[in-house]
Every structure is written in C-alpha cells, then in structure tokens.
Amino acid sequence: MHTWSKIRQKLEQEYLAESLKGRLTYFVTTYHAMHDGDEGRVAVRLDGQEILKSNFFERFAAMWQQYETLKQDPEIPDPWRQAAVNAIQNGEFYQVDFYRAFSEFDSQSIAKSLSSENALVRMFALLDRRTGKRTLERLRAPMRKEPQWLQMIYYIRLEAEHMPLSQERKSMKKGILFDLDGTLWDSSAECIEAWNTAIREQTDRPEQFTLDDMHNFMGRTMEAIAALMFPSLPEDARIRILQLCTDREHSYLRSHPGHLFAGEREVIAALAKEYKLGVVSNCQDGYIEIYLDQCGFKELFCDYESAGRTGLSKGQNIRLVMERQGITECIYVGDTQGDADAAEEAGIPFIHAAYGFGRVRSCSASLQNIQALPETAAAVFEKGE
C-alpha cells in the first residue's frame, strides 16, 4: 500500500490531465484523536476551493441507512457490501475509500476504471490524462445517468479541455435558468426573521438586521454575506454564526414559505412546454429544495444547482446544469448585477428581473413583471445573442 503522499503525487502529477495540473488537488486527513485509526475526511479542491468533501461519520451514516433498506431484499446477497458501494455512489466516502479506490485504479487499464463499479475509481479516470477528448465526447450521454457530484467532475474536465456543449442541430435544446431570490420568490422577510431569532437565541452578538440589509445580501455567496454581517469577526466565526442563521431559516421556511410573484405558476407552466427549466443560485445546499417543495410546481423544473452544494461560481453552475441537461441555447434570468456577471461568465444572454432586488449595468432584456417572460424570452432566443 502506498503512503498518502505517494498516492497524492501520482494522482496530481503522474495521472492528472495537463489541463488541470496545479488547479485540482486532493486532501486527506485522519482524525488522530479518535479511537479507530481509519476515521477521517477527504476533499477534492479546484483552485483552492473544496468542490467535493466527505468524512467517516457522514459515510458511515449513509452506509447504515442503505444497509437498513437493502437487507430487506432477499435478492441482494451481500447488503453490507452493496451499501458501501451505494454510499460512495451517493458521494459519501472517507480516506480509506480513497486508498482502496486508488489501489484499484492504479492496477488496471483506464477503460476498466471508467466502467468500474466504484464511483471514486470512475472519478480518477475522468480526470486522467489518458482519457482523451474523443472518449470524453462519447461519455456525454452516459454521464447524464451518473450521480450529480460525478457529473460535476466531468464538467470540470470538459471546461479545462475547452470542450463546448454539443452543437448538433438535431439535438439542440433550449433552456431557461433562473436565479431564486428576487426572481422566483421573495423570502426576505421570513429569512430576516429567522436570522435575527437565531442571533438573539444562539449567540451573544448584538446585531439585528433589517429587510433592506437582507435585500443587499441576496445573490451573494455565503462568505460575502458573512463578511457584510460581521466584519469585525474572523472568517471562521462569521461562517459559524451564519450557519446557525441558515439552519434556522430552512426550518422556518418550511412552515412560513416565501411569496411567489403574481402569475408565476402560469408563466412557469407555459415555459415548461417549450424549454428546459432550472434554478441556479448562490445559496446554501437545501434552500432551492425548499422553494421547489413549497411552490407547487416542482415537476416543471428539470434541474437545479447551488454554490452551497458544488462550491463553484454561479456561472460555472449554470454551465454545469446546461451540460447535465444537454442544453445548447440558454438564457439566465436574475435580478442583480451578480446574476448578470454569472450569465456573462457562462456565455449566455441575461434577462433582468427588474421587479426584484437589484439593478444591472446591461442586459439582453428587462422585465417589469414575470408575466412578460414568455414573450421576452422568445424574442431573445430569436435574436440569437
């Protein structure tokens, strides 16, 4: 068995695609204070940002949950082993899983690794220099059946290789992706109530925030919001308090949902007949899911993504959803300059939801209300910007 330093050297130098060298790195640590020596966490980092992470406790909980279900099926000969496979498939793993996956990957052909039962082995293969552009191209359709975290890894490799989305006219798909706050609903009053309550009850901080403050926070990453809220605190303390706020927010919104905009249900239903629809936000993981559960037309959206889940920028997450859904022509609808910047980063037109919380410097079109979106989107697609 190789040491971790040797494994890391081989993964980041010997095997990694040239286009990702110096950008993509792996992190592994063991919790030395714990009773067992195999407890720890792992992460994959892109440009210093953790885009994939898990630990022993999350993995064990996921595996046990899988096992409780699988053991009821007499056709599964080894439910404990299958539970481990399923846990990794679902993105839950720890450092020992990394070591085992590398051992398999390092001992077989790249073709076998790409078809491995182990999703971590498939990840190593997707990032491998021996997986060329023609192979990556052939994987487009099968990749849409892979777990979202592995699709994200595939997307990152495509981006690094400057491989565009498919341009075949016969398979062209149009899509409209939405920002959430100020574009699809207004939950600012509910969020500020939850945040202020969390700060009062769970911290010794004196701060209480206003609705205007919340409107200023909307569309920013959690790190940026935390810096605005508690500028005098160290970053880790800011993030800890903001996590308390968002935990309370998620709980509160399930019984006190935000408000949809007038005519939104009918507009989304009409658009879903012509376009693939999705939501892309800078929010924490779990927030978009609350909107989808509460809005009453969840089935009309084919996909969603958040910075809290991937660690990627909003522009990168737009491209990730486009790739997953095979969208070749896309519009992003949002209400802030950050949304406009994200659309520019993704290389797609931007429609400004002027009824929301922010102003923008430029856009392909502007909406005074969401009811004008079907006609406006059709005109932007027709112009082919």
* CATH classification at residue 263: 3.40.50.1000
CB of 327 within 8 A of CB of 276? yes
Q: Which tokens sit at 294?
A: 């509460």
Band (189; pLDDT cuts 50, 70, 90) = very high
Of the candidates 255, 273, 301, which is a domain's last residue?
255
Spatial CA neighbour of 205 closest among 160, 240, 249, 154 = 240
pLDDT at 33: 52
45, 9: one domain: yes
**Domain containing 117: what range?**
4-160
- Calculate the CA dihedral of residues 230, 236, 241, 246 and round it to 10 degrees: 110
- Tell me, what's the pLDDT at 112? 96
297 with 346, same domain: the answer is: yes
CA atoms within 13 A on the CB side of 7: 21
- Beginning with the edge strand found earlier in the chain, give each strand of the sheet holding 24-30 in spatial order: 24-30, 40-46, 49-55
Q: Determine the distance from the C-alpha atom of residue 318 to the mean position of all C-alpha atoms in its chain, rounded to a whole number.
A: 10
**Cβ–Cβ under 8 Å, residues 283 and 308:** yes
Same domain, 200 and 104: no
Same domain, 199 and 151: no
Question: Total domain count for the chain?
Answer: 3
Residues 249 and 295 in one domain: no
Residue 55: is its pLDDT beyond 80? Answer: no
| Same domain assignment for residues 243 and 289 | no
Taking the CA atoms of 70, 76, 78 and 84 in sequence, report the sign of the dihedral they define.
Answer: negative
**Mean pLDDT, residues 324-335 taken together:** 92
The domain boundary residue, chosen from 207, 222, 255: 255
CA distances for 303 relative to 184, 275, 288, 289, 331, angstroms: 15, 12, 10, 11, 15
Same domain, 8 and 118: yes
Q: At what angle do helices 148-160 and 314-325 cross, to 10 degrees?
A: 110
Together in a domain, 139 and 241: no
Mean pLDDT of 294-312: 91
pLDDT at 132: 94
User: CB count, 10 Å around CB of 159?
Assistant: 18
pLDDT band at 168 (very low <50, low <70, confident <90, very high): very low
If asked whether residues 69 and 15 sit together in one domain, one would say: yes
Q: So what's the pLDDT on residue 178?
A: 98
Clarify whether residues 129 and 178 are in a common domain. Answer: no
pLDDT number for residue 38: 60
CATH number for the domain that contains residue 193: 1.10.150
88 and 194 belong to one structural domain: no
Please determine, for residue 48, whether its predicted confidence score (pLDDT) is greater than 90.
no
- Return d(Cα 276, Cα 301) in angstroms, integer: 7
Judge whether residue 159 has pLDDT over 50. yes
pLDDT class of 98 with cuts at 50, 70, 90: confident
Burial 96-135 (b: 16+ CB within 10 A, else e): bbbbbbbebbbeeebeebbebebbbbbbbbbbbeebeeee
Q: CA 233 → CA 105, 122, 129, distances in Å?
A: 44, 41, 43
* Helix/strand/coil (H/E/C) assignment for every residue in 188-236: HHHHHHHHHHHHHHHCCCCCCCCHHHHHHHCCCCHHHHHHHHCCCCCHH
Same domain, 132 and 78: yes
Higher pLDDT, 69 or 11: 11
What number of other Cβ atoms are within 10 A of residue 75's Cβ? 5
Q: Of all residues in the chain, what percent are helix, strand and coil, respectively (each to 5)? A: 55, 15, 30
Q: What is the pTM of this model?
A: 0.65
Tokens of 138: 């052939």
Q: Last residue of some domain: 255, 274, 300?
A: 255
